[in-house]
Amino acid sequence: MQKREELYRGKAKTVYLTDNEDYLVLHFRNDTSAFDGQKVEQLQRKGMVNNKFNFFIMNKLEEAGVATQVEELLSDDEALVKKLDMIPVECVVRNYAAGSMCRRLGVEEGIPLTPPTFEFFLKNDELHDPMVNDYHIVSFGWATEAQIAKMKELTFKVNEVLSKLFADGGMTLVDFKLEFGLFKGELVLGDEFTPDGCRLWDKETNEKMDKDRFRQGLGGVVEAYEEVAGRLGLML
């Protein structure tokens, strides 16, 4: 498939059209952003690490029966994906309190959430991704009730599959964010699953191994992502 012109430049990935209208090329850049794009830095190797990491995780999810947009690894930092009509909300599942939940509810980081919680956020940097509920999503026509139910079901399924995968590598999956879209009417997992969009703590020491290292200026960001990959048996 031939790569064509740029369709969209996100904060960490650029999306290109191809000569087939059903497929896109995702280019994972080294750009790393936090706080809705207010903090941006280039981190060596991050595009490559996240591209390969995403391909690995999406394949695990496919094996578990979750349809994803990923088709093929094209190069170190590019992948071929299905072109989805994206639903403009983010699906977040939390197994432990962290991040915005602690700020919003004044709870301590690390409190276990039983059962895990589910939250929707509107994808809108200018508004700082406000939390929205099912009614907002239906009333504004962002998704149907059936699609909402399916997004919840699939996000919890991903939580089950990946909590176990990371636990086997000595890590705790604290929380994560997913984005879905429609491909020929079917709900499909899009965007990415990388340490940029989840929280992972070492099971023994609780050391942070995800983008919180960047948000909090802890250093060793890409090194931590590489450690996560290594623990899952992924050769980069």
Binding site for ligand TMP (CB under 6 A): 90, 92, 98-101, 121, 129, 175-177, 197-199
Helix/strand/coil percent split, the chain, to 5: 30, 35, 35
Cβ atoms within 10 Å, residue 95 = 19
Please tell me whether residue 170 binds ligand ASP under the rule CB under 6 A.
no
Least separation in angstroms between residue 26's CB and ligand ASP is 16
Shortest reach from residue 107's CB to ligand ASP, in Å: 19
Determine the interface stretch with ligand ASP among 2-10, 30-38, 42-50, 79-87 (rule: CB under 6 A): 30-38
**What's the closest the beta carbon of residue 127 comes to ligand ASP, in angstroms?**
13
Nearest to ligand TMP of 130, 170 (CB atom):
130
Using only C-alpha atoms, the chain has a radius of gyration, in whole angstroms, of 17
CA nearest neighbour of 51 among 24, 23, 80: 80
Nearest of 106, 87, 76, 79 to residue 3 by alpha carbon: 79
- Work out which of 1, 15, 17, 34 binds ligand ASP, going by CB under 6 A: 34
Give the length of the chain. Answer: 236
Near ligand ASP by CB under 6 A: residue from 6, 36, 145, 160:
36
User: What span, in angstroms and rounded, lies between the C-alpha atoms of 29 and 226?
Assistant: 16
Q: How far is the CB of 207 from ligand TMP (least distance, A)?
A: 16
34 binds, among ligand ASP, ligand TMP, none (CB under 5 to 8 A by kind): ligand ASP
Q: Judged by CB under 6 A, does residue 37 bind ligand ASP?
A: yes
Cα gap 116→93, rounded to integer Å:
7
Nearer to ligand ASP, 99 or 220 (CB): 99
Residue 140 binds ligand ASP (CB under 6 A): no
Instruction: Indicate which of ligand ASP, ligand TMP, none lies near residue 180 (CB less than 5 to 8 Å, by partner kind).
Output: none
Closest CA to 203 of 158, 176, 230, 163: 163
Nearest to 231 by CA among 172, 146, 160: 172
The rounded distance, in Å, linking the Cα atoms of 74 and 31 is 20
**Nearer Cβ to ligand ASP (52/213):** 213
* Residue showing the smallest CB distance to ligand TMP in the complex: 99
**Given 3, 11, 45, 157, the residue binding ligand ASP (CB under 6 A):** 11
115 prior amide bond cis, ω within 30: yes
Q: Which residues bind ligand ASP (CB under 6 A)?
A: 11, 33-37, 211, 215
